[in-house]
Amino acid sequence: MEMAFIHTPLGVAKLIGDSNGLSEIKVTDAEETITTVIPQNLKIAAEQLQQYFAGTRNNFDFGLNPRGTDFQKRVWEALLLIPYGKTVSYMDLSKTLGDVKAIRAVAAANGKNPLWIVVPCHRVIGSDGSLTGYAGGLHRKKWLLDHENPVKQQSLF
Q: What is the DSSP letter of 86?
A: -
What is the pTM assigned to this prediction?
A: 0.89
Cα 54 from Cα 81, distance rounded (Å): 22
Residue 130 pLDDT: 85
Triad 72, 45, 42: Cα angle to 5°: 100
Q: What local confidence, expressed as pLDDT, does residue 151 receive?
A: 67
Q: Name which of 139, 148, 154 is nearest 57 in CA terms.
A: 148
List the catalytic residues. Answer: 121
C-alpha Rg value of the chain to the nearest Å = 16
pLDDT digits (tens, 9 = 90+) for 40-83: 999 999 999 999 999 999 999 999 999 999 999 999 999 999 99
Domains of the chain plus CATH, in order, are 2-54 (3.30.160), 70-148 (1.10.10.10)
Q: How many helices (H) and strands (E) does the chain have?
A: 5, 5
- Mean pLDDT, the chain, rounded, equals 92
Euclidean distance between CA atoms 46 and 117, whole angstroms: 12
pLDDT tens-digit map of 14-25: 999 999 999 999
Spatial CA neighbour of 55 closest among 85, 26, 33, 27: 85
Distance, first Cα to last Cα, the chain = 51
